[in-house]
Amino acid sequence: MNPETELPAYPFSALVGQPRLQQALLLAAVDESLGGVLISGPRGTAKSTAARALAALLPGAPFVTLPLAASLEQLVGTLDVEDVLRDGRLRFKPGLLARAHGGVLYVDEVNLLPDALVDALLDAAASGVHTVERDGISERHASRFVLVGTMNPEEGELRPQLLDRFGLSVVIANPADTAARQAILRARLAFDRDPQRVLAEHAAHDAALAQAVATARARLDTVDVGDAALARAADLAHAAGVDGLRADLVMLRAARALAALDGRDAVRVQDVDAVADDALLHRRRHPAPPPAVRPEAPPPPPASGSGGDGDWGALPPQPAGFETASLPGTWRPKA
């Protein structure tokens, strides 16, 4: 038996050294239409711990894990056509998207999933609804959840088209020094030794965060996004060389969620700056360096052996013929 399954979820406010990840998760919880959070980092950096902690922070929120070997029907659900033909009643067998409604859908190693599953996940995360169609019959159900995907870059990357569909992206690195490692170890060992005591110590802080998220959700649509914030988002996206306008929209929505979480009625330019890296990190294109300027060739030195008049009778070099060398084997460019 895995001992971790016997422990309650780690307190969200007890996470050590991950303020940027905590902010991204809270913003995705405030506005589920952001498209979720992609967490990239090496193994053992508490990616799944943070996702479970977020679900525990939200009252009554289910935490649903998508297995790596899941089928598309397991994810989206299916319509039982045999029941329709037998008694005329439509029965929908819900999948993981329906089960995750109102909670957190966690996908470990999302970069190893088939593209069809990733597409379905991201569509539902962005729209909040999902439609199952089979043999001319369709069923539409609510599917609003916080999508948290994790990946280890050493095991492969996501296609750029799928990366762009994630709202926010956070890269987690190994602890920078031994002091940071020690702080994380102390916190984890204390929780393993006496989880109820640690939960009690952070209960008030977690309850305040949960209330802040609920209040921010309720006031989100009333938060004003002014021209200054809009111009800042456009400038940052343009400077990053991103394709399309999704990055601009994500920045503004995340900034609006941040303002709502802070209890403000308008988005500031500082809010856009605070979320810009997480919205642009996985969309930024590195511009190609300008072509090198080839220096002009220096004039040829005067020919020797003819005095100061030069070798006026010399002919210019004549082109020589050449043959193309055949290389053994067939060279193929890297994909």
| SS3 sequence of 176-204 | CCHHHHHHHHHHHHHHHHCHHHHHHHHHH
Summarised one tens digit per residue, pLDDT across range 9-34 is 999 999 999 999 999 999 999 999 89
**φ, ψ for residue 148, nearest 5 deg:** -125, 110
Q: At what angle do helices 227-240 and 246-261 cross, to 10 degrees?
A: 130
The size of the chain, in residues, is 335
> What are the residue numbers of the active site?
246
Give the integer Cα–Cα distance in Å for 161 and 146.
20
**Residue segments in the chain with a per-residue pLDDT below the cut of 50:** 1-4, 287-335
Give the integer Cα–Cα distance in Å for 310 and 304.
7
pTM higher than 0.75:
yes
- The CB density around residue 290, as the number of other CB atoms within 10 Å, is 6
- Domains of the chain plus CATH, in order, are 17-175 (3.40.50.300)
Give the integer Cα–Cα distance in Å for 82 and 135.
11
Summarised one tens digit per residue, pLDDT across range 46-101 is 899 999 999 999 989 999 999 888 888 889 888 776 766 677 676 777 889 989 99
Task: Decide: residue 266, CB within 10 A, 0-12 exposed, 13-18 middle, 19+ buried.
Answer: middle
Beta strands 168-171 and 129-134, pairing class: unpaired
Give the integer Cα–Cα distance in Å for 165 and 123.
8
Give the integer Cα–Cα distance in Å for 303 and 244.
60
